[in-house]
Amino acid sequence: MTTSPPAQVTGLTALPPRTVEFRGARGGQAALTWGQQGIWRSTQWLDDGDPYFNLAWTLPVTGAAGLDAVLRAVGRLVERHETLRTAFVRNGEGTGENTVQRVSREGRLTVGVYEAAAKPMSAAKALAAELAATGFDYAAELPIRCAVVCQRGRPRALALALSHLALDGWSLNMVAAEWPRLVAGEDLPGPGWQPLDQAASERSDPPPGGQALRHWRTGLASAPRSMFDFPTREPEEPRFVRHGMDSPAVAVAAEALAARHGVTTSSVLTVASAALLAAVTGHPRAALQLIVSNRHHPGMEAMAGPAAQDGLCVVEMGAGTFADALRHGHRRTMATYRNGHYDPALVLAAWEAEAWDRGADIDLDAFFNDVRQAGRWQGLPPVDPGDAAALAALRERTRTFFVGAYSKVKARIFFATGPAPSTCEFYVLVDTAFLPGDVAGRMLTGLEELLVRAVSEEVPLDQVAKVAGLDPVLRPAGWTAIGPDWVDVPETEALLRRVCGTDLAAVVVEDAGDDAGDAAAARLTGYLVARPGLDTPEAVHAAVMRAAAGRTDVLAPHHYVLCTASPAGPAGWPACPRLIEGGGRAPSSAMTVLGR
Amino acid sequence: MLRERVAELVSKASGGDLTVADILAANCSLPALGLTSIAYLRLIDLLETEFDCDVDLDGGHLDTLDGLVEHIAGQRK
């Protein structure tokens, strides 16, 4: 495998590129690790050649190292970390499920060499961005492109473009720590754990991840089927909008709340994000997917390669105060971070099973990612959070800004910190097919207001939207809360009628107490006239689920009643002669056959 | 003895950032002492391995040294 020479960049003079030959301790092939599968699926969701998952990065070269020493260090880096000489190859016919990681033991890397007239680090940054602007050919190309930027002939920086399939944020920090030592010619001990080892470990018997799978099942069963179960709107162009905020006041307030309630600042930001989302979308329970680094597991801490997976975090927001939600939410976030290492295929199966049972796609496209190193800030302004005037003065330094707009993102909302160590850098992305783009900016200022207010007073959860200055979404008449889900009942009825190909169907909200005698819960019952092909609850449920795919407004009836004929009026359905009825979820469900 | 051993594991989980003496002397929660999320997760794994127990994150009071000690002692009965 080789890489192409980088493109020309303004302000740099290209010198002849050099070739670095490398030969690592081993090569090999294995199934993708669970962490690799996560990024791989995301890359496959984008168009071929999309550079969205490329990382542009620069490393300084300090001291008197010459070009040969820097090139040697690049070679050592690629030799040390198998992930930097790994291709992702389709193994035979089929799609992503058959993709494997293939580590080349040896090869060549073409390294560009440039002379900068001034500001070599800035020039290297521009060069890195240029290198990262083209998507990687994951099957045929090394996942690393690099170039050395010199000034007066002496190397000053290494410009890098890396595939996210090769490295994540944690791995970048590892490489950054090794880099000066490699340039100095130190002989570092080899890493003890690589993605090939990880892949083998994930296929051990019994495999890890059993507890994480149970965590997912529980979370899936309790999460709203979507936080976005409300009317859609005409999306803006481009559809996805991201805003950012730099607020030292948020950091100081979050530190104060964390100390007061015995939680982490990561939990404070997660729960605050969940509270804002729940308040805007009208849910007493919020579900977020947290990006879990998975670096607390033995071995994975020292592995260069993607290890992060999504974890499901469901936080109760119904009653009480924001402080109550912090204490409960902290335990939920810790449980999520603890259960983030799992076989994605098993979780996907559990996800689909829950969708089938619930009667709707389970949309969990609400995310939170804390990218701060070690999950904390350092060197915050020395402001006493108990001094309201000082905290108010600190808020004068808050800056919000528009980051960008994108046509395709696999998220309806995405909360994220930035890596800045001495201020809270925070971002919100929204899908404008559901929320106006300016809500992203208003959530940022709302987050600040919520946290600062919570330092000095109790904030009831039912006041979060008001405190944060956010407008809850409005659901027209006909929308009904069914368990944790909001449902557009008239649309659900219209869907059932389309499935039946006739108006001879109705959906009714009924009370359904369970056998344990608990309080009655609302459920949807679908009435229809049986016809060939739609003559069992199972057949009807399958047809409804197909028709409802991807929608967040309708919910398949919990119970289907197939009648012999339609009633004289809409209210007459429950009294109609019944042919067969049941949940339609499984052949073994409590289906009863009448009149057959 | 159990308290001292748990404090040692807290220190180990923190990568040495927190000393055993500081942990034993602290009258605040472990996060307030500076134990990060990732270190806390490492700690839970260490405790479960060493004491062959299940640490239930919803169990409450697990954010302090004494809460953890009590939880583990309860599981060992």
Token pair for A328? 């409960």
pLDDT at position A559, please? 96
By C-alpha distance, which of A341, A336, A281 is closest to A309?
A: A341
pLDDT tens-digit readout, A154-195: 999 999 999 999 999 889 989 999 999 999 999 999 999 999
For residue A357, give the H/E element and its range: helix A344-358
pLDDT tens-digit readout, A571-588: 899 999 999 999 999 754
By C-alpha distance, which of A47, A18, A9 is closest to A131?
A: A9
CATH of domain A479-593: 3.30.300.30
Three-class DSSP labels, A197-234: HHHHHHCCCCCCCHHHHHHHHHHHHHCCCCCCCCCCCC
CATH of domain A227-468: 3.30.559.30
Pinpoint the residues of chain A covered by CATH 3.30.559.30. Answer: 227-468
Question: How are beta strands A424-431 and A399-406 bridged, if at all?
Answer: unpaired
Token pair for A61? 């070269």
Burial of A186 (0-12, 13-18, 19+ CB in 10 A): exposed
| Amino acid letter for position A8 | Q
| Amino acid letter for position A54 | N
pLDDT at position A586, please? 75
Asked if the Cβ–Cβ distance from A262 to B44 is below 8 Å, we say: no
Pinpoint the residues of chain A covered by CATH 3.30.559.10. Answer: 12-202
pLDDT at position A7, please? 52
The CA dihedral of A190, A191, A195, A198, to the nearest 10 degrees, is 120
Pinpoint the residues of chain A covered by CATH 3.30.300.30. Answer: 479-593
Q: Please name the residue of chain B whose CA is at the shortest distance from the CA of residue A337.
A: B41
pLDDT at position A51, please? 87
Q: Which of A257, A261, A263, A264 is the best substitution to test chain B (most B C-beta atoms within 10 A)?
A: A264
Whole-angstrom CA distances from A260 to A253, A324, A421, B60 are 11, 12, 21, 16
| Those residues with Cβ within 8 angstroms of residue A438's Cβ, 6 or more apart along the chain or in another chain | none
Q: What is the pLDDT along chain B (77 residues), one digit of tens a residue?
A: 899 999 999 999 988 889 999 999 988 888 878 888 788 888 888 888 888 887 877 666 678 899 889 888 887 76
B71 and chain A: CB distance < 8 Å anywhere?
no
**Count of Cβ atoms closer than 10 Å to residue A403 Cβ:** 13
Q: Show the domain range for B45.
A: 2-76
Number of domains in chain B: 1
Q: How far is A39 from chain B (nearest CA, A)?
A: 21
Question: How are beta strands A366-369 and A413-417 bridged, if at all?
Answer: parallel
Token pair for A405? 């707009």
Low-confidence ranges of chain A (pLDDT < 50): 1-5, 96, 516-519, 588-596
Rounded CA-CA distance A311/A396 in Å is 36
pLDDT at position A389, please? 92
Residue A461 is given by DSSP the state G
Q: Angle at Cα A221 formed by Cα A219 and Cα A224, nearest 5°?
A: 85
Residue A486 · residue A524 · CB < 8 Å: no
Q: Does the structural domain A12-202 have CATH classification 3.30.559.10?
A: yes
Asked if the Cβ–Cβ distance from B63 to A263 is below 8 Å, we say: yes
Residue B20 sits in a domain whose CATH number is 1.10.1200.10
